[in-house]
Amino acid sequence: MACNDKFVMVLETKRNPSIWKHFDLCLMTDNHEMARGKGCGKFMKAAANSTLKLHIDRHCPVTKAKNEKGEGSKTVSSNV
Ligand SMILES: [Zn+2]
């Protein structure tokens, strides 16, 4: 990955919302687009939805933490 590109702005995207709710589509100085994880802030290629989905499912430390809390937790409060 090129490390010399810098973040310019967040773009709107109409791509798959189940994936992109976890990412911002970012315009970089090189005029290309990158996906940035909303939770973890990691940049990755925006073109590959499969890569992004894999990141959410497997690699993202933020969603991972949420999943681990959600599964089999004994500290779920019932005062909702
Ligand atoms: Zn992430």
Give me the half-sphere count of Cα atoms (radius 13 Å) on the Cβ side of residue 42: 14
Q: Name the token pair of 6.
A: 């810098």
Q: How far is the CA of 78 from the centre of ligand 1 (A)?
A: 29
Flag residues of the chain having pLDDT under 50: 1, 73
Domain with 19, as residue range(s), is 7-65
Quote the number of domains for the chain: 1
d(CA 22, CA 43) in angstroms, rounded, equals 12
Q: Name the token pair of 53.
A: 């989905």
Q: Is 58 inside a domain boundary?
A: yes
Q: Is 20 inside a domain boundary?
A: yes
Give the SS3 label for residue 37: strand
Q: What are 44-60's pLDDT values in tens digits? A: 999 989 999 999 999 99
Instruction: Give the per-residue pLDDT at 32.
Output: 93
Q: How far is the CA of 55 from the centre of ligand 1 (A)?
A: 6
Q: How far is the CA of 51 from the centre of ligand 1 (A)?
A: 11
Q: Is 76 inside a domain boundary?
A: no
Q: How far is the CA of 75 from the centre of ligand 1 (A)?
A: 25
Q: Is 41 inside a domain boundary?
A: yes
d(CA 28, CA 77) in angstroms, rounded, equals 42
Q: Is 47 inside a domain boundary?
A: yes
Q: Is 13 inside a domain boundary?
A: yes
Q: How far is the CA of 42 from the centre of ligand 1 (A)?
A: 6
Give the SS3 label for residue 68: helix
